[in-house]
A and B are shown apart, each in its own frame.
Chain A
Amino acid sequence: MNEPTSSKSSMSISIDINNLCLTFETQTEPVHALSDINLQVNSGDFVSLIGPSGCGKTTLLRVIADLEKPTSGTITVEGKSPHEARLDRSYGYVFQTPALLPWRNIESNIHLPLEMSGYSKDEQKKLSQQYLSLVSLIGFEKKYPWQLSGGMQQRVSIARALSFNPDMLLMDEPFGALDEITRDRLNEELLHLWEKTQKTVVFVTHSIPEAVFLSSKIVVMSARPGKIINVIDTNFPKDRTFDIRESTEFLEVSQLVREGLKEGHSDGS
């Protein structure tokens, strides 16, 4: 059932969100972080959530990850409640910062989730090797986080999120703090990873080119209250390179996203 296929029709639904609302109670007035969210994500999709800051895209990702509880509405993740999905370790989460433990070396940082999932020492070693090679960081096993550049640290964090083979990868602006050159390179690497591992990816960003380049589905959101303005499916080949950024199709999709963002903006004010 989870077997990845290329035809969209036979894909199973990975995330199903219906009429979801989330309100934060503050001392002054309630903040409507998410309002009437409806979204279906198929297994193997690469979904980008894009919108201005404060539009609730990170909150939505945290609801999927069961790090935040919705006020109303329903959500299932891999056919389970987000809570069960979290207990089953159904997803790997990549944060805005690498979130590596400074007292553990690179290898040992990747072992962290594996230790808690009960892998043997040998398996931990094997898996960390496997995923470090996937993000081209072989040779850095014994280095400590502070000895690595920001981009390398974020690659370790991606390897760690993948190491216990979760169904999904949830990424919260993982490359936001990096320079553009590093960001471009990591975007390409991430695309290859997605192609190789066939994971479902939910990716939060506020960069239009990043969203269009990476995604098979772009969810455009607006702020106050956070809601979905538009969902755009793209049809770029899976083995695409940066060359497609010059293509008419890429520019058309970018334009569509931009219009969606603009619409949301005028709506809000």
Chain B
Amino acid sequence: MEVNRILNMIMNGSVGPVVILVSIIIMVWYAGAVYLNSSFLIDRYEKNNIDWSFSELASDSWSMERPVLPSPHQIAKELKKTIWDKKITSPRSLVYHSGVTLSSAMVGFLMGTFLGILLSVGIVYVAALDRTLMPWIIASQTIPILALAPMIVVVLGSMGIIGLVPKAMISTYLCFFPVVVGMVKGLRSPSIILVDLMNSYSASKAEVFWKLRLPASIPYLFASLKVAIALSVVGAIVAELPAGAQGGLGARLLSGSYYGQTSLIWAALITASVISATLVTIVGRMERAVNNRMGLQI
């Protein structure tokens, strides 16, 4: 009974379950580090005829220079070194690289959202676009972005467009899709009765759009924006991989894999996911604020 009561107390709060889950992940991670790094270590022990115990194997596998899987505290150390200790302007600072990635992701996100809304309005209002555009839009997303990104970067580079714009365009390419799909659904979401209501007031097409379709599409827009903003970071990172970019989290991932610096890769990955999660949270907050203002139930 007592155990149940304590368990209830922990699991009912929002902190308890998260702490438990994170601890489990960290424990599995440490176990995984031992498992993945052990074969290399055991080889070395045997070559050098060193007697070893499991505890030695564990502590060695958690403190390797170039582990297959770095342990959480090694990644934490790398994060502290590259975020905290380095100057922001240093090319070794993760803050600097995050800034590079974030700026192209944001430009791409804004362009993608704009393009997505534009296309969705076209699709909803022009019957010809509805039939012709949608298949192409869907087809565009079946091409692996990893295959497409180098071409965009190279083609634009040969036209003299380098730096942020090509990277932002790859983010745009990923972002516009969920926005189109969500907004087409949103703009078509008003019930027939509401459309009839507007017709009974002999409302113009513009009035139906601004007073009915657009406000009705806002919840759909935000659902799409949450997907799009996470994709924008993915797009920016992928764009940094092919052209040997000097800055950005993608460039860090690349140099990490060149030099077998797995903790560097993991640090960049974790930074990227923290950035994505933060951006999604910000969009979520904006959604709540807009919902409140529109008087909608959440």
By a beta-carbon cutoff of 8 Å, the part of chain A in contact with chain B is 65, 67, 86-89, 91-93, 95-97, 99, 101-105, 112-113, 115-117, 144, 146
Given contacts A67-B196, A103-B216, 10 further A-B contacts (CB under 8 A): A89-B202, A92-B200, A93-B200, A101-B211, A102-B296, A103-B296, A112-B201, A116-B201, A116-B203, A116-B207
Please tell me if B295 contacts chain A, counting CB pairs below 8 Å.
yes
**Residue in A closest to B297 when the chains form the complex, CB atoms:** A146
A97 x B193 contact (CB < 8 A)? yes
Q: Which of A89, A92, A95, A103 contacts B196 (CB 8 A)?
A: A95
Chain A residues with CB below 8 A from B115, complex form: none
How far is it, in angstroms, between the C-alpha of A164 and the C-alpha of B295 when the chains are bound?
25
User: Given A65-B200, A86-B202, A112 and B193 touching (CB < 8 A)?
Assistant: no
How far is it, in angstroms, between the C-alpha of A112 and the C-alpha of B203 when the chains are bound?
10
B194 x A86 contact (CB < 8 A)? no
User: In chain B between 208 and 263, which residues have their CB closer than 8 angstroms to a CB of chain A?
Assistant: 211-212, 215-216, 218
User: Given A89-B201, A112-B201, A99 and B193 touching (CB < 8 A)?
Assistant: yes
User: Given A87-B202, A89-B202, A116-B203, A99 and B295 touching (CB < 8 A)?
Assistant: no
Chain B residues with CB below 8 A from A117, complex form: 201
Q: What secondary structure prevails in chain A residues at the interface with B?
A: loop
Query: Can you list 25 contacts pairing A with B, beta carbon distance less than 8 Å?
Result: A67-B199, A67-B200, A86-B199, A86-B200, A89-B201, A89-B202, A92-B200, A93-B200, A95-B196, A96-B193, A97-B193, A99-B197, A101-B194, A101-B211, A101-B215, A103-B215, A103-B218, A103-B295, A105-B295, A112-B201, A115-B211, A116-B201, A116-B203, A116-B211, A117-B201
Chain B residues with CB below 8 A from A87, complex form: 202
Question: What band does the interface of chain B fall in when counting residues whose beta carbon is under 8 Å from A?
Answer: 20 to 34
How far is it, in angstroms, between the C-alpha of A123 and the C-alpha of B284 when the chains are bound?
38
Interface string of B259-298 (1 = CB under 8 A from A): 0000000000000000000000000000000000011110
A172 CB → nearest B CB, Å: 10
A101 x B212 contact (CB < 8 A)? yes
How far is it, in angstroms, between the C-alpha of A86 and the C-alpha of B297 when the chains are bound?
34
Chain B residues with CB below 8 A from A146, complex form: 297
Report the 8 A-B pairs with minimum CB-CB distance, sorted nearest first: A144-B295, A103-B294, A93-B200, A87-B202, A113-B201, A99-B193, A103-B215, A99-B197
**Residue in B closest to A95 when the chains form the complex, CB atoms:** B193
B40 CB → nearest A CB, Å: 61
A35 CB → nearest B CB, Å: 24
Chain B residues with CB below 8 A from A65, complex form: 200
Q: What secondary structure prevails in chain B residues at the interface with A?
A: helix
**Residue in B closest to A143 when the chains form the complex, CB atoms:** B295
User: In chain B between 60 and 100, which residues have their CB closer than 8 angstroms to a CB of chain A?
Assistant: none
Chain B residues with CB below 8 A from A104, complex form: 295
**Residue in B closest to A113 when the chains form the complex, CB atoms:** B201
Interface string of B184-197 (1 = CB under 8 A from A): 00000001011011
How far is it, in angstroms, between the C-alpha of A61 and the C-alpha of B293 when the chains are bound?
37
Chain A residues with CB below 8 A from B295, complex form: 102-105, 144
Chain A residues with CB below 8 A from B212, complex form: 101
Chain B residues with CB below 8 A from A97, complex form: 193
How far is it, in angstroms, between the C-alpha of A23 and the C-alpha of B191 when the chains are bound?
24
A112 x B211 contact (CB < 8 A)? yes
How far is it, in angstroms, between the C-alpha of A171 and the C-alpha of B30 when the chains are bound?
70
Chain B residues with CB below 8 A from A101, complex form: 194, 211-212, 215
**Residue in B closest to A68 when the chains form the complex, CB atoms:** B196
**Residue in A closest to B196 when the chains form the complex, CB atoms:** A67
A186 CB → nearest B CB, Å: 19
How far is it, in angstroms, between the C-alpha of A216 and the C-alpha of B207 when the chains are bound?
37
How far is it, in angstroms, between the C-alpha of A112 and the C-alpha of B210 when the chains are bound?
12
How far is it, in angstroms, between the C-alpha of A9 and the C-alpha of B191 when the chains are bound?
42
Chain B residues with CB below 8 A from A116, complex form: 201-203, 207, 211
How far is it, in angstroms, between the C-alpha of A93 and the C-alpha of B212 when the chains are bound?
17
B193 x A91 contact (CB < 8 A)? no
How far is it, in angstroms, between the C-alpha of A99 and the C-alpha of B190 when the chains are bound?
10
User: Given A102-B296, A105-B295, A93 and B215 touching (CB < 8 A)?
Assistant: no
How far is it, in angstroms, between the C-alpha of A95 and the C-alpha of B201 when the chains are bound?
13
A25 CB → nearest B CB, Å: 19
